[in-house]
Amino acid sequence: MNRALDLLIAAVPRWLWAVGTALCACVIIWAGQRPASTLKGMSVLPPGHDKVLHAVAYAGLTACAFRFFYPLRAKVKPEVPVAWLGVLLVPALVGGLDEFLQGWAQRGRSADWRDWVADMTGATLTLCWGLWLREKARKGGGRARLRGK
């Protein structure tokens, strides 16, 4: 199964990862603008533990952004600071916009800097995990077999 998933991920063109990143960002913004009354009873987590959901949502967003900025079949190694900045800038801006809109819209939701910290925690952990997997593949394990090495 792992081999099949590797092949599926490798088959997705780079531009589609950009579309996936944009779609994830739109879904996150849309979900963040739902009135608080529609969210009651939807979460399986105890009240106040929504930070886990924030981290998971932004991990997904970051995974798509990571695959866009760090393509599997890159002929040229991306400039690391530029790629890191791109991968972290997307969730930082989306999270900031989401919190700004929640504070501004007055739908029973409020802006909370701790939500943004949870967003960035999920994003940073995903970036580190992606870099670790990429380095592992570069040394001959993992997905390196897809590139014929």
Mean pLDDT of 9-32: 87
Contacts of 25 (CB under 8 A, 6+ apart): 61, 90, 94
CA dist., res. 17 & res. 37, Å (int) = 33
Length of the chain: 149
pLDDT-based confidence at residue 148 (cuts at 50, 70, 90): very low
- Record the pTM: 0.77
Per-residue pLDDT tens over the stretch 22-32:
999 999 998 88
pLDDT at 143 over 80: no
Give burial (CB, 10 Å; 0-12/13-18/19+) of 122: buried
